[in-house]
Amino acid sequence: MADVAGMLALLVERGATVAVAESLTGGLIG
């Protein structure tokens, strides 16, 4: 269970990072 929770946490962190990066990139481009 701990491994699954850790993997989910990593996915959430990556997803949040990608969302922020896309938001910043979109703001710079358009």
What span, in angstroms and rounded, lies between the C-alpha atoms of 11 and 19?
A: 12
State residue 30's pLDDT score: 62
Q: Is 22 helix (H, G, I), strand (E, B) or coil?
A: helix
Number of domains in the chain: 1
Which DSSP state fits 11? H
pLDDT score recorded for residue 1: 66
pLDDT at site 21: 92
> Could you read off the pLDDT of 1-30 as tens digits, one per residue?
679 999 999 999 999 999 999 999 988 776
26 Cα distance to chain centroid: 16
Domain extent at residue 19: 1-29
CA–CA dist 11, 5 (Å, integer): 10
